[in-house]
Amino acid sequence: MDVDLLAGLGVGFLGSRLKRLAERMQADAAEVLRTLDLPVQPAQLSLLLALRTAGPLTVGELAARLKLAQPTVTRAVGVLEAEGLVEARRSAEDQRSKRLALTPAGEALLVRIQTQLLPVVEAAASGLCEGLSGELMASLAGLEARLDQASLLDRVKAVPTPTMWVRDFSDDLAEAFHRINAEWIQAMFSLEENDVALLTRPRELILDKGGLVLFAETPDLGVVGTAALMVSKDGWVELTKMGVSETARGRKVGEFLLAKTLERAASVGMADRLYLLTNTKCAAAIYLYEKLGFVHDAEIMRLFGARYERCDVAMSYRPRG
C-alpha cells in the first residue's frame, strides 16, 4: 500500500493538503464542464454567478464579494470578456467607473449552468461528503479515500437525471415571478398595493437592493415555483413572494424551494435576521415553515405585520443547531 506522505506530515501542512484536494476536485470539475460542452473553467463559475446575483460590479467589488485577490479576479475577468461572456459598462453615476455585467451570451450560459451543471454537481458533492464528521484531519482523510474509490466526475455521471433544480432571477423570468405569485394570492386573498409593486418591479425593489429571487424548475413543466429574499435598510431580511404553480402541486416543490432558499440565505449571511409574514389560511405553508426552522414571533408581528392587511401570522427563522 502506498503511504500518503503529505497526510503523514500532519496539521502543520493543512494548506498543502487542502490545495491538493482542491486541485483534484477542480480537475474533475473541468472534465464535467467539458463533457457538458460548457465553455467555462471551474474558477470562472463563481464570478459569473456573483455577477448574475449581485451585478453589475466593479472588479474591486467583485473581488471583495468573493474574498479573492483583485489581481486573480482581474485575470479571470479578462478571459471572460475575451470570450464575450462579460462586458464592462460605464457607471451612470460615475463615468470614470466601469462595472462588470453579463452579456446576453453570459446570461444564456448561466441558464445552462444552473439547469444542466449545478443540480448534478451538488448531488454528487453531497454524496461525497455525506456522513463525514468529527476531527478535521480525519474527515479530510475520509474525503480523499472516497475520491480514491470514485472521482467527482464518476459521481456526477452516476447522478440520476434531476427532477427539479433552482435558478436565479433573470429578466426573462419576471413574468413567471408575477404569474405564480398573483395566482396563489388572488386565489386566497386579493392583491394589495405592496404585492403589485413587488410583482411588477422585482429587479428594482428586490435585486437592486441586495436581495435574491429564486425559481424552482422541472424538466417537464418548466418554472413552477418562486421565492424572494428582500433586504430592509435596518438589516432585516424578509422571505417573501413564495409560491408554487397549481400545475405542480403534489411534487413537494415548496419544501424543495424553501430549503434551497434558506441554504442560499445562510451562504450569503442573510439568515440571522430572516422573517416572514403570512396568514392562518396558509396552513400548509405554515406547517412547512415550522418544519424548516421558523417560529411564531410576536415582535416580528409588531414590527412588520402592518405591511399587509391579510397578515395575521409573523415568524422568524431560528434554525435548529
144 plus 209 within the same structural domain: no
16 plus 51 within the same structural domain: yes
pLDDT per position as a tens digit, 93-148: 666 778 999 999 999 999 999 999 999 999 999 999 999 888 988 999 999 999 99
CA angle at 210 for the pair 80 and 291, rounded to the nearest 5°: 110
Q: Is the peptide bond before 202 cis (omega within 30 degrees of 0)?
A: no
CATH code for position 148: 1.10.10.10
Looking up cell 463525514, which residue turns up?
132
Cell digits of residue 289: 415553515
149 plus 9 within the same structural domain: yes
What residue type is assigned to position 99 of the chain? R
CA angle at 110 for the pair 109 and 114, rounded to the nearest 5°: 120
User: Final residue of a domain: which of 110, 136, 158?
Assistant: 158
Contacts of range 11-14, beta carbons closer than 8 Å, 24 or more positions apart: 11/136, 11/137, 14/136, 14/137
Look at the chain and report how many structural domains it folds into: 2
CATH code for position 261: 3.40.630.30
Show the domain range for 86: 5-158
Kindly tell me if the per-residue pLDDT of 53 is higher than 90.
Answer: no
Q: How confident is the model at residue 5 (pLDDT cuts 50, 70, 90)?
A: confident
31 plus 125 within the same structural domain: yes
Kindly tell me if the per-residue pLDDT of 30 is higher than 60.
Answer: yes
170 plus 236 within the same structural domain: yes
pLDDT per position as a tens digit, 140-154: 999 999 999 999 999
Q: How confident is the model at residue 283 (pLDDT cuts 50, 70, 90)?
A: very high
Distance (Å, rounded) from C-alpha 65 to C-alpha 48?
12
